[in-house]
Structure 1
Amino acid sequence: MEWQKLAAELFPEGHDIVERDFFLRGNATISGRVATVIGTTGHTPIGVEIALAQAHAILETMREFPGRPLIILVDTQGQRLRHRDEMLGINRYMAHLGKCIDRARRNGHPVIGLVYDQALSGGFITSGLMADACYALPEAEIRVMGLPAMARITKVPEEKLRELAKSNPVFAPGAENYLNMGGVEAIWHDDLAACLSRALQQTDASDRRSERGLERGGRKMARPVIQGVLASHNVLPS
């Protein structure tokens, strides 16, 4: 979906989002409440410039508008794989972005992520997955790594991975599989503005992804392992 059409459906009460070099930023009204909107479009990779621009927008919102909701619109092919970005320390820029989102959450800013097109690799991990809750449209393409690349790295034959992907969502791309694993809270249909309004009313800063994955059968071991580690350190799970 084109970001302009998405914005019109998400924010019928109005918005002033603009796109510059594939970076989206602006304000929008949701059920009478103003939110800061950031994101990407055009399947753009996240390089140092966009990572820094998103972090700047979040820090500015925290400084100027305490408690204002943050909406992250995700469409990215992952982090930019260029020698220049690597030499500049793209990993630190991505970490900085993730930390800014986490700080906003801890400071009382509701943070909602929405994958409306493509979400891959580090560009997704340090944006939508850092939100209080991440949602997706039905046609969204979500994956950390393609099966051919996974086969090359793990040395497991691609045919075997494709067979595993039929029954195990960990190996398979797609919004439904990420829903089953708990990475995506829900897939939005029909009235997107109503979906967003409900999501903002239900925001919870607690990380429920492992719990959701266990409930939905997509990640059966993450929650028990977390609980075991916490119990061994006498820490009560959230």
Structure 2
Amino acid sequence: MDWPTLAHRLFGDAHHLVADGDFLHGHAEFDGQTITVLGTTNHAPIGVALALAQARGVLDTLRDHPGRPILLLVDTQGQQLRRRDEWMGINRAMAHLGCCIDLARRRGHRVLGLVYDQALSGGFLTSGLIADGCFALPEAEIRVMRLPAMARVTKLPEAMLAALSASNPVFAPGVENYVAMGGVRALWRDDLAVCLRAALADTPVTDTRAVDGAARGGRRLAAAVIERVLNAA
């Protein structure tokens, strides 16, 4: 789904969302309140400039509109694989974006992420995945890396990883697997405005991903390990 269609299905004509290249920004009126909308489009690679632009949008909202909800629209192919961005400190820029989103949550802003097209790797980790709740459209594509790349990194045969991905969501791409693991809270179907309304009302401000993953059978040990570490401390 392209972003203009998505914006219309979420807000009708009550939005002021624009694209500056790959950067989406603006605001929308929803149920009598204003929502800041930030994100990316065109399968954007997240480089230093784009990460800092999104961070600026979050910080402007904290300064000018305390408590205003923030909706992050995610469509990214991951971090920008370019020497210039590496030299400029892409790791620090993306960490800064994540810190800004975390600060917004701590200051009482409800932050929601919505993967509407594609979400890969670090471009996803420091945006929608760090929100209070991350959601996705059923047709969206989410993965950390393709199986051939995973095979190269892990030194395991691709056939073995393919077999593991059939039964273990941790090894498998796809939105349903990320729901099973708890990374995606729910899929938004049919009336997207109804889905947004429910998410604004019901998404917890505490991190429930490990517990959700255990309950859904997709991430069976994380919650238990976290509990043991906390008790040991």
One-letter identity of the residue aligned with 2:232: S
- CA distance in 1 between partners of 2:222 and 2:13 (Å): 40
User: 2: distance between equivalents of 1:115 and 1:6?
Assistant: 11
Alignment of 1:134-149 (within 5 A): 134-149=134-149
Instruction: State the match for 2:48 in structure 1.
Output: 48
> Residues 106 and 205 of structure 1 are in contact (CA less than 8 Å); yes or no, is this contact kept in structure 2?
no
Match of 1:9 in 2: 9
**3-state SS in 2 of match to 1:77:** strand
Aligned to 1:35: 35
CA distance in 2, matches of 1:202, 1:46: 30
Aligned to 1:236: none
CA distance in 1, matches of 2:75, 2:30: 21
Partner of 2:19: 19
Q: How does 1:1-238 map to 2 (within 5 A)?
A: 1-12=1-12, 14-233=14-233
Gaps of 5+ in 1: 234-238
Which AA in structure 1 matches 2:136?
A
Distance in 2 (CA, whole Å) between partners of 1:229 and 1:215 is 19
Where do 4+ consecutive residues of structure 1 move more than 2 Å? none
Cα deviation 1:102-124 (Å, max 9, x = unaligned):
00000000000000000000000
Letter in 1 for 2:147: L
Query: Secondary structure in 2 aligned to 1:113?
Result: strand
CA distance in structure 2 between the partners assigned to 1:57 and 1:20 by the alignment: 13
Deviations 1:24-78 (A, max 9, x none): 0000111111000000000010001110000000000000000000000000000
CA contact (8 A) 1:143 1:173 kept: yes
Q: What is the TM-score normalised by the length of structure 2?
A: 0.99
Letter in 1 for 2:112: I
Please state whether the residue corresponding to 1:205 is helix, strand or coil.
coil
> 1:148 is aligned with what amino acid?
P
For residues 135 and 85 of structure 1, the distance between their equivalents in structure 2, rounded to whole angstroms, comes to: 29
How many Å separate the matches in 1 of 2:185 and 2:114?
Answer: 10
Residue 203 (structure 1) shift: 2.7
1: CA distance, partners of 2:198 / 2:32: 13
Q: Structure 1 residues 45 and 130, CA, compared in 2 at 3 Å: closer, same or farther?
A: same
Report the number of matched residues: 233
Query: What are the ranges of 5 or more consecutive residues in structure 2 without an aligned counterpart?
Result: none
The answer to whether the 8 Å contact 1:13/1:29 transfers is no
Q: Distance in 2 between matches of 1:12 and 1:128?
A: 23
In percent, how many aligned pairs have the same letter? 62
After superposition, the CA RMSD in angstroms is 0.6
Which letter does structure 1 place at the counterpart of 2:221?
M
